[in-house]
């Protein structure tokens, strides 16, 4: 049964099935593992082998089936009745011969030729290579991973731990073989090792973090200082440059498959569990084609949902590494609508036609106009491309995104004449704006040979202080004065990033995450009650409310005052996402309250409107994929 689920050693069984019987129904088999699908497409057809002389099959039909299959992989029903349920439908490195038909295996690597002509609309595929060479075996991958990770995880107990994302991709394609790219290892030289804990309770997952940190420290040269840095979503281990940074994502998931399913970009949906390489079918497909398939999950995904949304810097980062984005023909054809359909989906917009070529041309003219305004200089920031609100994500709509794509293309064509703007200065709308690595990319502190761990720790403290002071200065209407804030020093305890050299200190109450919030006092009472009840159900003892007054000593507001200024404390008991859905949703609401008041909004009515918009934007709900795509295409 296991072999059938994994698609292993099933070729002989498939060859006993008459192709004329199987082929007509194959495209309706959404539960079929990708490895089995590839074998079905390769079995004899009337005495010949597909695709050389067999009937032509649109390979993009395969992509559609992969997307449909992933919906089934997310279904809890696909996990029942088998102890290795999470392996069902995934692809392993030994199955490369099956999933990469026509590839050539040698002792040093497997060469995969990529298709030259692909339908659809491509974005940022200029760095895509015509062929790629991957590791020839799991043992070769393991050896390369040891080298690239600088043996910092040697002697790690890999039980319930997986490394996933860019580091796994970098290891897979960093091949010392004829045809391999000698610059690939350098391309991944600054990548973090992103780790995920799965299948454990919050308490055991925290213990696993301690084990990983001690393993990290034990593999460093003697007397090498270390620093563990924590924010609301990750804990990252630092030593000295250029040693790898180890980052643990604070999200509890059931299995390695759940780790991979949450990745935004196809090419990142691969992981290493210390013994095997695991990939989603869409990751294997991205290796073959050199592009990520666009779906609205890239725009509307959610970290609490099936698949998280992407961030602009990640899309451009992987485009630079050779993996752009491709919009499938089915999406493009869905833009053909009747006037009545346009009006229903875009009421009052008076749109009767969408021509993607016209939108691209307009975006190109817009970017050229920005450069013309600079009178021949190339000092243009990404924020200059958005005349409406420079701080918003460029993924808000196709037109704005396309302007950034044009900028990216110009930067490549001019070969460095246009200086790539740093992505460190992310907006407060960014899901990961408190990532400590963002601090490293700022001009005043960089990750290079000048890096000093002690100074970086002080830099984090200074950044927390500066953020608090900037927030107080944004209060032009004096709103904080009503809550006891006069100079801003009253808020010095607030910190959204903390650090310590010892893990027990980092996870103690002295280093909890503390975020400033303006929110209704009755909501604060509700939030504290809910969290206390949930933690009690989980058997966790708490002594301090999650929300406490930032300045005043009582939570009950004076008569007539409905709003309070609070410190939101995220303890080590509350740091794990997906421990309990009720807490996760409450945290989303609290984040929305924070975002609408950065900077502090003096217009209460406008704040209420922005809060509703934030909550709706973060809402997880079903939507028609093609209707959402059309609306995104028309978003200004």
pLDDT at 32 over 50: yes
CB crowding 410-435: b at 16 or more within 10 Å, else e: bbeeeeeebeeeebbbbeeebbbbbb
Q: How many CB atoms lie within 10 A of CB 82?
A: 13
Residue 177 banded pLDDT, cuts 50, 70, 90: low
Return phi, psi of residue 444, to 5°. -80, -5
CA–CA distance, 447 with 525 (Å, rounded to integer): 43
- Strand segments (E) across 348-507: 498-500
Check residue 186 and give its pLDDT. 76
Range in 72-81, 449-458, 492-501 the model is least confident about: 72-81
In the three-class reduction of DSSP (H, G, I as helix; E, B as strand; rest coil), residue 514 is classed as: strand
pLDDT at 633 over 90: yes
Residue range 327-344: mean pLDDT, rounded: 92
Two structure tokens written together for 254: 């059931």
Two structure tokens written together for 153: 């995880």
Element (H, E) at 111: strand 110-113
Residues with Cβ within 8 Å of residue 539, at least 6 apart in sequence: none
Range in 12-16, 176-180, 277-281, 573-577 the model is least confident about: 12-16
pLDDT in tens, 350-404: 888 899 999 999 999 988 888 777 665 556 666 677 665 656 678 889 999 999 9
In the numeric block, the tokens 């000295």 are attached to 240
| DSSP notation for 337-389 | --HHHHHHHSTTS------HHHHHHHHHHHHHHHHHHTTT-----GGGG-SS-
In the numeric block, the tokens 């064509």 are attached to 413
Residues with Cβ within 8 Å of residue 230, at least 6 apart in sequence: 236, 497, 498, 499, 506, 507, 511, 513, 575
Range in 137-146, 187-196, 309-318, 602-611 the model is least confident about: 602-611
Check residue 542 and give its pLDDT. 81
pLDDT in tens, 49-79: 444 444 456 677 888 889 888 888 887 665 5
The DSSP 8-state label assigned to residue 327 in this structure reads E
* 413 vs 545, higher pLDDT: 545
Cα angle for residues 351, 354, 360 (degrees, 5° grid): 125
Residues with Cβ within 8 Å of residue 4, at least 6 apart in sequence: 10
The DSSP 8-state label assigned to residue 78 in this structure reads G
Check residue 295 and give its pLDDT. 92
Q: Are strands 161-164 and 270-272 parallel, antiparallel or unpaired?
A: antiparallel
CA–CA distance, 585 with 102 (Å, rounded to integer): 47
Check residue 602 and give its pLDDT. 72
Instruction: Report the percentage of the chain scoring pLDDT > 90.
Output: 54
Residues with Cβ within 8 Å of residue 154, at least 6 apart in sequence: 146, 215, 219
């Amino acid at each position: 049964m296991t072999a059938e689920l994994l698609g292993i050693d099933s070729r002989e069984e498939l060859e006993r099935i008459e192709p004329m019987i199987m082929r007509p129904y194959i495209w309706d088999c959404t539960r079929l593992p990708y490895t089995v699908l590839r074998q079905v497409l390769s079995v004899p057809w009337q005495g010949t082998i597909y695709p050389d002389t067999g009937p032509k099959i649109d390979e993009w039909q395969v992509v559609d089936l992969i997307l449909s299959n992933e919906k089934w992989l997310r279904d809890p029903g696909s996990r029942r009745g088998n102890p290795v349920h999470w392996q069902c439908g995934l692809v392993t490195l030994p199955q490369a011969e099956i999933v990469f038909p026509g590839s050539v295996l040698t002792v040093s690597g497997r060469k995969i030729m990529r298709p030259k002509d692909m339908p659809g609309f491509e974005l940022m595929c200029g760095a895509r290579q015509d062929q790629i060479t991957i590791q020839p075996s799991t043992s070769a991958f393991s050896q390369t991973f040891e080298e690239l990770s600088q043996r910092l995880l040697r002697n790690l107990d890999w039980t319930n731990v997986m490394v996933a994302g860019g580091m796994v991709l970098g290891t897979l394609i960093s091949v010392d073989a004829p045809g391999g790219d000698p610059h690939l290892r350098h391309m991944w030289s600054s990548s973090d090792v992103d780790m995920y804990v799965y299948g454990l309770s919050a308490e055991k997952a925290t213990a696993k973090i301690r084990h990983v940190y001690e393993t990290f420290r034990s593999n460093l040269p003697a007397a090498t200082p270390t620093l563990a840095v924590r924010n609301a979503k990750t804990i990252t281990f630092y030593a000295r440059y250029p040693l790898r940074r180890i980052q643990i994502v604070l999200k509890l998931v059931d299995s390695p498959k759940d780790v991979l399913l949450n990745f935004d970009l196809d090419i990142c949906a691969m992981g290493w569990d210390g013994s095997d390489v695991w990939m989603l079918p869409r990751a294997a497909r991205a290796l073959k084609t050199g592009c990520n398939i666009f779906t609205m999950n890239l725009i509307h995904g959610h970290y609490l949902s099936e698949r998280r949304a992407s961030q602009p810097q990640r899309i451009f980062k992987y485009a630079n590494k050779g993996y752009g984005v491709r919009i499938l023909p089915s999406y493009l054809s869905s833009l053909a609508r009747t006037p009545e359909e346009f009006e229903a989906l875009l009421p009052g917009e008076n749109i009767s036609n969408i021509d993607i070529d016209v939108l691209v041309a307009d975006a190109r003219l817009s970017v050229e106009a920005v450069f013309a305004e600079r009178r021949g200089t190339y000092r243009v920031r990404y924020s200059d491309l958005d005349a409406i609100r420079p701080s918003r994500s460029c993924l808000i709509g196709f037109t704005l995104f396309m302007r950034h794509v044009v900028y990216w293309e110009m930067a490549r064509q001019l070969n460095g004449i246009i200086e790539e703007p740093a992505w460190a200065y992310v907006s407060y709308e960014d899901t990961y704006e408190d990532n400590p690595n963002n601090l490293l990319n700022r001009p005043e502190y960089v990750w290079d040979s000048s890096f000093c761990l002690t100074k970086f720790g002080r830099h984090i403290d200074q950044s927390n202080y500066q953020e608090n002071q900037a927030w107080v200065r944004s209060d032009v209407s004096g709103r904080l004065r009503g809550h006891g804030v006069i100079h801003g020093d009253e808020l010095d305890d607030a910190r959204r990033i903390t650090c310590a050299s010892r893990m027990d200190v980092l996870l103690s109450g002295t280093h909890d995450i503390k975020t400033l919030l303006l929110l209704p006092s009755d909501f604060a009472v509700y939030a504290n009650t809910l969290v206390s009840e949930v933690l009690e159900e989980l058997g966790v003892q708490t002594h301090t409310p999650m929300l406490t007054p930032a300045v005043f000593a009582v939570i009950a507001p004076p008569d007539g005052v409905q709003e309070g200024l609070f410190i939101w404390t995220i303890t080590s008991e509350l740091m794990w996402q997906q421990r309990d859905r009720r807490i996760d949703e409450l945290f989303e609401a609290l984040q929305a309250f924070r975002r609408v008041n950065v900077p502090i909004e003096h217009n209460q009515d406008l704040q209420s409107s922005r809060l509703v918009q934030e909550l709706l934007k973060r809402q997880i709900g079903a939507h028609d994929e093609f209707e959402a795509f059309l609306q995104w295409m028309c978003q200004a």
